[in-house]
Amino acid sequence: EVQLVESGGGLVKPGGSLRLSCAASGFSFSSYSMNWVRQAPGKGLEWVSSISPTGSFIYYADSLKGRFTISRDNAKNSLYLQMNSLRAEDTAVYYCAREPSGSYYDSWGQGTLVTVSS
Amino acid sequence: EIVMTQSPATLSVSPGERATLSCRASQSVSSNLAWYQQKPGQAPRLLIYGASTRATGIPARFSGSGSGAEFTLTIGSLQSEDFAVYYCQQYGAWPPAWTFGQGTKVEIK
């Protein structure tokens, strides 16, 4: 069974940093692109970032303006999102999602809540 | 950026009735369109990909159609567990920049 488990969310002050993790199991992690998708409270879904199976190709939403960095460790079956210079508008549930290359998301984690507030 | 627009924002339907949800892209995405279902407090679940292919385990009452810039999700006979928010998503842009519609909430009439 495919499992994606996010962690690392919490309360952080504006301007602060946070690192999210996503632990994957039940499939060949190194064969899939992986993504982060977020959802602000009461709002819709917003794609954040994507990383290819080997990490060679990385894409970000234009709105992030270089503040976030996606990475992966295939030896540990883990996906990461380093978030810097956090703003109130970054407050959201952050989901990791599996992507059969260049396409839709066929499995999602349960999400981790990031709250940016003073 | 490809903008996805869903209509209506809210759809009130009685159990057993058919529901038709629309999704329009600001430019052609070919058949690179997926639909997701999200219930309160849960992660989204993939329903349809490639505009019309049901994901594994999705009941036959869910069907997708369309190509280019106009897409439809039809729920043939609404069951109680189908009341949720539905999102469309395009994955046809290059360089990759996945975008979602704003969602359609299907509520009990």
pLDDT tens digits, one per residue of A61-83: 998 978 999 999 999 999 999 99
Extract the tokens encoding B23.
């999704």
Query: A102 contacts in B (CB within 8 Å)?
Result: 91, 96
Find the range with the poorest average confidence among A97-101, B2-6, B34-38, B70-74.
Answer: A97-101
CA-nearest residue to A110 within chain B is B43
CB contact under 8 A, B43 and A95: yes
Q: C-alpha angle with apex B96: B91 to B99, nearest 5 degrees?
A: 50
Instruction: Chain B: give the shortest CA distance to residue A95, in Å.
Output: 8
The dihedral sign for the CA sequence A86, A90, A92, A98: negative
Q: pLDDT per residue over A6-63, tens digit each? A: 999 999 999 999 999 999 999 999 999 999 999 999 999 999 999 999 999 999 999 8
Query: B87 contacts in A (CB within 8 Å)?
Result: 44-45
Instruction: Give the model's pLDDT for residue B93.
Output: 82
Q: pLDDT per residue over B49-79, tens digit each? A: 999 999 999 999 999 999 999 999 999 999 9
How far CA A15 is from CA of A12, A46, A67, A85, B55, in Å, comes to: 8, 21, 10, 4, 40
Q: At residue A79, what is the residue type? A: L
Instruction: Give the model's pLDDT for residue B38.
Output: 98
Q: pLDDT per residue over B14-46, tens digit each? A: 999 999 999 999 999 999 999 999 999 999 999
**Mean pLDDT estimate for chain B:** 95
CA-nearest residue to A60 within chain B is B97
Instruction: Give the model's pLDDT for residue A65.
Output: 77
Instruction: Give the model's pLDDT for residue A4.
Output: 98
Cα–Cα distance measured from residue A74 to residue A105, given in angstroms and rounded to the nearest whole number:
19
Instruction: Give the model's pLDDT for residue A103.
Output: 84
B60 to chain A, any CB pair closer than 8 A? The answer is: no
- Contact assessment for residue B93 and residue B99, using Cβ atoms and an 8 Å cutoff: yes
> At a CB cut-off of 8 Å and minimum separation 6, what does B41 contact?
none
Instruction: Chain B: give the shortest CA distance to residue A60, in Å.
Output: 8
**B44 → closest Cβ in A50, A102, A108:** A108
Residue A65, number of CB atoms within 10 A of its CB: 9
Cα–Cα distance measured from residue A97 to residue A79, given in angstroms and rounded to the nearest whole number:
10
Alpha helices by DSSP H, listed for A1-118, are: none
pLDDT at B94 over 90: no
